[in-house]
Structure 1
Amino acid sequence: MFTYRSPADFNDYLQVGCRVIVQFGSRKIMTGIIGAIHTTPPQKYEAKSLLDILDQEPIIHPPQIKLFQWIADYYMCTLGEVMNVAIPSGLKLSSESRVQLYPDFDLYDSDFDFSDNELLLIEILEKNESLTYSEIGKALQIKNSFSIIKSLVQKDAVIIYEEIKEKYKPKKQRRIRLKSEYEDKKVLESLFKQLESQPKQEELLLAYLQHMPIYKQPELNSKGIEKSLLQTAELSASSLKTLIRNNILEEFEITISRFEDDNSPLTEIKLTENQQHAKNEILDSFKTKDTALLHGITGSGKTEIYISLIKDALESESQVLYLLPEIALTTQIVIRLKKVFGNKVGIYHSKFSDNERVEVWNGVLSGRYQLVLGVRSSIFLPFDNLGMIIVDEEHESSYKQYDPAPRYNARDVALFMAKQHHAKVLLGSATPSLESYFQAKEKKYGLIELNRRYGEAQLPSFEIADMLREGKKKTLKGEFSSLLINHLNEILEKKEQAIIFQNRRGYSPYISCEQCANIPKCTNCAVSLTYHQYKKQLICHYCGYHEPMPNECEACGSKSLKTIGVGTEKLEEDLELLIPEAKIQRMDLDTTRNKNSYERIITDFENQEIDILVGTQMVTKGLDFDHVSLVGVFDIDRMLHFPDFRAYERTFQLTTQVSGRAGRREKKGKVVIQARNVELPILKDIISNNYLKFYDEEIREREMHRYPPFTRLIGIRIKNKDKNLSHRAANRLSNLLKEQLGSQRVLGPQEPVINKIRNEYLVELLIKLERGSIDLNKVKQIIQNCSNEILNEKDLKSSKIVFDVDPY
């Protein structure tokens, strides 16, 4: 927060939440948001004056500022870092330096000598009001014009100023309408008689009347029609100009939404007896608790319950936020919600352009959108009357932001938001996070169980493919078991569909030399490069570094290079060889980078234009397809043995969720899990869909080893381009924290599995804090003070220290 003076003529327009233009430092012009209005001048610096006020009405509400401050405090980051993520970049200003001649400058009256380039620039500026640095560089045909501009500033020949531009641009539409005096039938007939000698003008006027029924509804004429409707090959462009010039037609411009209104009739939702019972239980729990957990097995019809609750909330004129973990999910659910709620639904996610995000933001401000469906960043929208927050698939790790700060979890922020707005929160999942289920068991949340699938749908049957056994029998086909291939052939004969889940994108995790076993590594990160066949490249999934697929080993020169392991791209290629008649599509980060690629793939799959969908976690989410009767799960052993205390929980969730895609209607689906260790107890829990047994076993482990929900965790990551300095800083910080917090609460320092990313060496500490008996805010202050002490040391100040509250 910084304090600025307000000029007297601004005082009547100042409101908390409005954007202002301020000078920051000697040169920068920045957007500020008014956080507080007071009469206390700052003690340590002279307050500058506001340059301008941008908004007549606030773009954020005071409760949002409190929310942003809470996020900054809880997740140990700055308020500015929160605001930067929260506010769409289209609402921030861009500042661009421009150069113009000094108003009183006279070349012939100047005492200075000028170089040829300086004289040329003066000549160019005499013809142009002002130019940017890049425009000057092009005009002078030189790469760096800064020294010339600096010299001219010193000679009082030019001045530099900042031009402020708003990034958001409303979408405009040019329209045409008939002048109001011609709306009268007799006047219009008289006009046509005048135009008998001008057939092209007459034709154009008739074309207008085809789109605009003036005789029946003259009141519609004021709205006009899109200009593009009269700009066809058959109609004369010059005739349109003549009719406008002669005041028969007039052209005007309107601002339109980037989101098309859907005026199709709305549908009603009818709940089954089972769903109605669950809804009643939720409403009962809301009488005494602000949060309820709906534990409903896959396919049990949770979405219909959500829709019914949303309908009730909107009828009471409250706003509703419906959170989803992935953009992939929004495509199907938007269609369902639009059928029920029409144009009250706003959608908000990262694939939207800046302008689209601003329009949704403004739509929430104006009350146009009562219901917002969005991913984690939707929590930052300017709600002022929030009645309910639904967090679907609440267990999902996608709700957690990892980089950059704030490293927040949208599910947990939603709980705080609900308190602010006196709203209710409904968490929903077929596989709840252990923390949420624990809170429900402890009676802090309401708990509603929904154990039957919707309608006649049945849970799928499971088969385990023993990969070690098939390997010995030599029945494997690449990475596919004979069991899975046989089932894939069967479903294709029945004209049904399959989903193959592999939690790893790319063609192959890495390539290796058969002679010396060398594995190509990223130059910036301590990680092997992933081979991507479609690009013929080795790519780092951490920093984006890439290089062409080598022809020979960089270490020994051998040409014997082989790919190790499989990603989604390799599975797609293998399936095309094994089942050439199948139509196969991949859904992962690489195939869904474009804005509408999710929708296209999902629509094609729904329309049965794809037989087999191969994908990463995206295919495990709550997608609903009628014709999927088989799901294949790859590499479950690797997921289970990932070095993370949540590995079993995540594997149970992912496998159960993707299994739920099979047999969504009256057909019983089948799931094939490929495993090397078929005796693992967790496989039995997955097959029997026994969440309670899994929960009981896992919660005992957590309590024994002091992990959440029995403790709070704060991760600390120390980064430095010098490996020795990163270790020294980590050791110093560890010792300071152990002195203050006790050695049993501070784990580490230790190097993470990947100890170098983007040329920075990483060392980690983990703080474990028992719940209930410790002041969390005080501990955070201690951690912050110790970190500042490290960064104030001369030899360690080049380090970066990053905090992650509630990591993983």
Structure 2
Amino acid sequence: MNQESLFEEEITLFADVILPVPVPRLFTYRVPREMSADLVRGCRVVVQFGKNRVLTALVERIHDTPPTHYTAKYILELLDQQPLVTSFQIALFKWMAEYYMCAVGEVFNVALPSGLKITNQSKIQFNPDFDYPELLTQEESFLMEEVKRHGMLTYEELGRLAERKNVTSLIKSLISKRAIIIFEEIKEKYQPKTIAKIRLASPYQETEKLEELVKSIEKNTKQLDIIFRYLSYQPVFNNPELNLKGVEKSIFTQSDSLSASALATLIRKGIFEQFEAKVSRIADAPPTEALQSVELSPGQQKASEQIHELFKEKSVVLLHGITGSGKTEVFIDLISKALRSDVQVLYLLPEIALTTQIVSRLQKVFGNKMGIYHSKFSDNERVEVWKGLVEGKFQFVIGVRSAIFLPFDNLGLIIVDEEHESSYKQYDPAPRYHARDVAVMLGFMHKAKVLLGSATPSLESYYNARSGQYGLVTMTERYGAATLPDFVLIDMKQEKKKGNVKEEFSTILLDSIKKNIQNGEQSILFQNRRGYAPWLQCEDCDWISACQNCDVTLTYHMREAELRCHYCGHREAVPRTCPHCGSARVRTMGYGTEKIESQLEILVPEVRVQRMDLDTTRSKNAYSTIIRNFEENNVDVLVGTQMVTKGLDFDNVSMVGVFDVDRLINFPEFRATERAFQLMTQVSGRAGRRAKTKGKVLIQTSNPGQEILQWIIAGDYNAMYQTEIAERAGFGYPPFTRLIKLTVKHEDLDTALQAAKILAAGLTEQLGKTRVLGPEAPLVNRVRNRFLLDILIKLEREKVNFRAVKSLIQERVNEILADKTRKHLQIVIDVDPA
């Protein structure tokens, strides 16, 4: 060994790692010598953080400079033989931390599925240096013998032996007597899925031996049946190598025609052998030899060609196509061409509800090249998609907002469908990012093209397209021979005067539902509020059901017979009498989807109704079950919240009914008109999507003359845009400004108010009065027993150094939080609040 190689071996390496903690810095750990050759950037490692915590960390940089302010601890374990996180991802994590004003560890924590993070489980071991058995109680002596016998025990196992549910005091006693050692056994959460398989033992793979075996057991028909069934799946006579793959054991054990005991006998005799095989949790689509193509209409073909042309000059293109224009077919065409160019594709959708229909369409085209990634998948299923990308199994992924964090290394095309949707915005925890905006940055990093699609684009995206920052392609005709629906505005004031209202239904709407049922057609009813009623109220003393933790009313849920807070989750039993005055005259006020469903069942007894809202879609397969029932015409009327507005495509829906539209339009928020137009247009677009029936949209309103309703009826997005963009310019709102919202939270209102005033005053001093608004209480000013106060910062896009202002804000926030007299104060920073 020469002197140079000896010198290289003596170099001590250190690694800067990202930890999943809200601390704005990296941490340096020492690399064990045996790990030096294998450790690379992007690998996950296990490290000790503090005295007792063991965490998964991400290696960001490897170097030979020790930290100056502390002694670096050793990395405990290397989890990856090859990096599971790419350089592109690390760059994205850093950009998001800087832009959204949070710690890079918070981004890392959200980005990685929890199945890729280790858990630490406390274990108990006997202390070999313990020499004072006389100090132990009888119970403790018994337990120490058990610990010695087993080598180690978990808290839970010790509790079972001690016949106690809570063993904390017992463990504390044993620790104080130094009888036991507590340590952490590290386990990675992800475990590959395995299934039991069987195959012929090696002596019987040869043709002669197998023939001898068949002759020797020819009288035992049950065993022969199993052997013949195995050979039908794996014809080893023709190809002995097929035997290595084996056959799933469940095929034999779950068959009515085969004997499980006969199989067990064959395994016991050594004729078959059982083994475990790893399988994917993601259901494989039928393999595709070549990518299938879709047939485009002339309008779709023109849009596809225009997008291609614009991509030569623009990195981002907005596809503005009316509802039912066939944007999905254009997306499929573009994806097919991208995959033929051997690049990766990411297709983002705002809601899982949308994936149910679109995924099945895309799988028919792209087969097992496509991975699916969303929050209703288990941790292990999400890990398999993650690892599938790293290993090259998937070239194309469809998913919700968290899919932007996947480990792409050759991304060529990103599609953001329904780009206007607020579901793309993450509110808690940090980073409070918008997936559409992050997708644009991700495309820039990969030099990939980004296509935004919507029938009702966000004003920001449409402004960017109109001003030339993005390309713009428009589709103005519905696919095929389908036409836009007819609209009927129902004046509820007049209908009530005439006595034409039953419960929440006008007679016009009820008659349309009945007619649709008679014609074998389906209807969708939209009410943007779940539950049975928003609150209960006493008719005698005006008591209102309110949450004890938040300044909101408790929503009445009839099926569960409970009052529920939709902010903190608090639940209460429904009172039989008024808790305030004892009156029995307590009634429901307002209405939600559950009440509409219940009333419809009473008013139209023959109806088959299904509800789709957050309460009915909590389980993994709930969306797909509801949609399948509706698609198969097992349901006449689908009642739902925003979920029914988003991209669902049903052949037989000819009517849409809209409730409570005035509350949507008059919501006190600067985006209210834009959001109401988007929601109403989207839900209207569910009606009459096929040529056989012209759709009808019935809107119940107390003010039919509202200008926005005329825009919706005319499908005039441009009129809405021109009016709203002028108002935004006049009052200084996006897209002409950037917003940062600071929310001060504390259990004590005075503490929160004092801190908010000091923070606002400090920012106003340097930014000016016109740029700092507040502090003001939001609509809901107490959540989870914390009072909230908002400060809104408006920054012109052209005149202000955005990065410098963010540094100033962070300094002021840190100063407020550093004051130890304000314990438990929290300040949430939301950049680009939705």
Identify whether the pair has TM-score above 0.5, normalized to the shorter chain: yes
Match for 1:159: what amino acid? I
Offset of 1:112 from its aligned partner?
A: 5.4
Give the letter for the 1:464 counterpart. L
Match 1:228 to one of 234, 240, 250: 250
CA distance in 1, matches of 2:260, 2:527: 57
> Does the C-alpha gap of structure 1 residues 645 and 19 become closer, same or farther in structure 2, counting only changes over 3 Å?
same
* 1:456 counterpart = 2:478: no
1:260 to 283, 288, 312: 283
Greater CA deviation, 121-130 or 67-76?
121-130
Answering whether residue 717 of structure 2 is matched by residue 686 of structure 1, we say: no
Partner of 1:122: 144
Could you say which residue in structure 1 is the equivalent of 2:6? none
Task: From the superposition, tell whether residues 377 and 617 of structure 1 become closer, same or farther in structure 2 (CA, over 3 Å).
Answer: same
**Segment of structure 1 superposing worse, 461-470 or 197-206:** 197-206
Aligned length, in residue pairs: 805
- Partner of residue 165 from structure 1, selected from 187, 190, 193: 187
Q: 1:175 to 1:727 in 2, by over 3 A?
A: same
Check if 1:151 corresponds to 2:170.
Answer: no
> Which amino acid counterpart does residue 352 of structure 1 have in structure 2?
F
1:455-534 equivalences in 2 (<5 Å): 455-534=480-559
Equivalent residues in 2 for 1:171-190 (5 A)?
171-190=193-212
Residues 418-457 of structure 1 correspond to what in structure 2 (within 5 A)? 418-457=443-482
Match of residue 322, structure 2, among 294, 297, 301: 297
- 1:79-158 to structure 2, matched below 5 A, reads 79-105=104-130, 109-110=131-132, 113-158=135-180
Q: Secondary structure at the match of 1:71?
A: helix
Match of 1:716 in 2: 742
Secondary structure of the corresponding residue to residue 625 of structure 1: coil
Distance 1:421 1:323, change over 3 A: same
CA contact 1:117–1:148 (8 Å) conserved in 2? no
Separation (CA, whole Å) in 1 of partners of 2:263 and 2:522? 54
Match of 1:669 in 2: 695
C-alpha contact 1:180 1:222 (8 A) present in aligned 2: no
Matched letter for residue 795 of structure 2: L
Alignment partners' CA distance in 2, 1:532 and 1:321: 39
Aligned-pair identity in percent equals 55
Residue 627 of structure 2, aligned match among 591, 596, 602: 602
Is residue 47 of structure 1 aligned with residue 72 of structure 2?
yes
Paired position in structure 1 for 2:412: 387
Code of the residue aligned with 2:137 in structure 1: it is S
Measured after TM superposition, the shift of residue 556 of structure 1 is 1.2
C-alpha distance after superposition, 1:635-661 (max 9, x if no partner): 110001111100000000000000000
Q: Does 1:636 align with 2:661?
A: yes
579 and 264 in structure 1: CA distance in 2 versus 1, 3 angstrom threshold: farther
Q: CA deviation at 1:707?
A: 0.5
Q: What's the Cα RMSD here?
A: 1.5
Mapped contact 1:497–1:628 kept (Cα < 8 A): yes
1:370 corresponds to 2:392: no
The one-character-per-residue Cα deviations of 1:122-157 (angstroms, maximum 9, x if unpaired) are 122133221122332332234543343333334332
| Shift of residue 216, structure 1, vs aligned partner | 4.7
Of 767-776 and 212-221, more deviation after overlay is shown by: 212-221
- Opposite residue 97 of structure 1, the aligned amino acid is S
Superposed displacement of residue 183, structure 1: 4.0
> Quick one: distance in 1 between partners of 2:266 and 2:157?
41
Is 2:55 the partner of 1:30? yes
Residue 95 of structure 1: how far off its partner (Å): 0.1
Aligned to 2:273: 250
TM-score of the superposition, structure 2-length normalised? 0.95
Q: Does the CA-based 8 Å contact 2:344-2:412 persist in structure 1?
A: yes
Contact kept, 8 Å, 1:790 with 1:797, in 2: the verdict is no
Partner letter of residue 752 of structure 1?
P
Q: CA deviation at 1:795?
A: 2.0
Q: Residues 338, 39 of structure 1: CA spacing in aligned structure 2 closer, same or farther, 3 A cutoff? A: same
Deviations 1:401-456 (A, max 9, x none): 11111110000000000011000000000000000000001000000010000010
Cα-to-partner distance string for 1:704-757 (whole Å, 9 max, x where unaligned)? 111100000000000001111010110111111111211211000011111100
Residue 9 (structure 2) aligns with: none
Q: Indicate the residue corresponding to 2:92 in structure 1.
A: 67
Segment of structure 1 superposing worse, 453-462 or 790-799 = 790-799
What does 1:615-630 correspond to in 2, within 5 Å? 615-630=640-655
Q: Answer yes or no: is the 8 Å Cα contact 2:741–2:829 preserved in 1.
A: yes
Q: Could you tell me how far apart the structure 2 residues matched to 1:239 and 1:493 are?
A: 57
- Show CA shifts across 1:199-236 (max 9, x none): 44333322322333334554433211101122246544
Separation in 2 of the partners of 1:408 and 1:548? Answer: 37
What amino acid sits opposite 1:441 in the alignment?
R
| Whole-Å separation in 2 of the counterparts to 1:249 and 1:415 | 56
Question: What's the counterpart of residue 209 of structure 1?
Answer: 231
| 8 Å Cα contact 2:287-2:368 kept in structure 1 | no
Per the TM alignment, residue 488 of structure 1 is displaced from its structure 2 partner at its CA by: 1.1
SS at match of 2:708: helix
1:605, distance to aligned residue in structure 2 (A): 0.4
Partner of 2:730: 704
What letter corresponds to residue 504 of structure 1 in structure 2?
R
Decide which moves more: 766-775 or 121-130. Answer: 121-130
CA apart distance, 1:110: 2.7
Q: Look up the match of 1:788.
A: 814
* Partner Cα distance (1:635, 1:447) in 2: 34
Q: Secondary structure in 1 aligned to 2:398?
A: strand
Give yes or no for contact 2:486–2:696 (8 Å, CA) kept in 1: yes
Does structure 1 conserve the Cα–Cα contact (< 8 Å) formed by 2:43 and 2:80?
Answer: yes
Shift of 1:482: 1.4
Report the 3-state secondary structure (helix = DSSP H, G, I; strand = E; otherwise coil) of the residue aligned with 1:448. Answer: strand
- Quick one: which amino acid aligns to residue 581 of structure 1? E
Judged with a 3 Å threshold, the aligned counterparts in structure 2 of structure 1 residues 154 and 372 are, in CA distance, closer, same or farther, namely same
* Alpha-carbon distance between aligned partners in 2 of 1:772 and 1:5, rounded to the nearest angstrom: 46
Residue from 412, 417, 436 that aligns with 2:437: 412
Do 1:434 and 1:699's aligned partners in 2 also have CA atoms closer than 8 Å? yes
Unaligned residue ranges in structure 2 (runs of 5+): 1-25
Distance 1:729 1:335 in 2: 52
Find 2:675's aligned residue among 643, 647, 650. Answer: 650
User: Mean Cα displacement is larger for which, 217-226 or 520-529?
Assistant: 217-226
SS in 2 for 1:253: strand
Match of 2:793 among 750, 755, 767: 767
Q: Distance in 2 between the 1:111 and 1:142 partners?
A: 22
**SS at 1:449 equivalent:** strand
Q: Which amino acid in the other structure matches residue 825 of structure 2?
A: S
Distance 1:270 1:408 in 2: 37
**Aligned 1:743-782 pairs, distance under 5 A:** 743-782=769-808
1:199 & 1:646 partners in 2: Cα distance?
Answer: 74
Q: Which moved more, 1:285-294 or 1:126-135?
A: 126-135
TM-score by length of 1: 0.97
For the 8 Å contact 1:30–1:93, the answer to whether it is kept is yes
Instruction: Name the stretch that deviates more: 124-133 or 572-581.
Output: 124-133
Kindly state the Cα deviation for residue 615 of structure 1 after the two structures are TM-superposed: 0.3
Write out aligned runs for 1:186-205 (5 A).
Answer: 186-196=208-218, 198-205=220-227
* Residues 92-101 or 792-801, more deviating: 792-801
Query: What's the CA shift for 1:103?
Result: 3.1
Q: What code does the residue aligned with 1:380 have? A: F
- Which 10-residue stretch deviates more, 121-130 or 147-156? 147-156
Structure 1 stretches of 5 or more lacking a match? none
Deviation per residue, 1:513-541 (Å, 9 max, x gap): 10111101101000000000111111000
Distance in structure 2 (CA, Å) of the matches to 1:763 and 1:435: 27
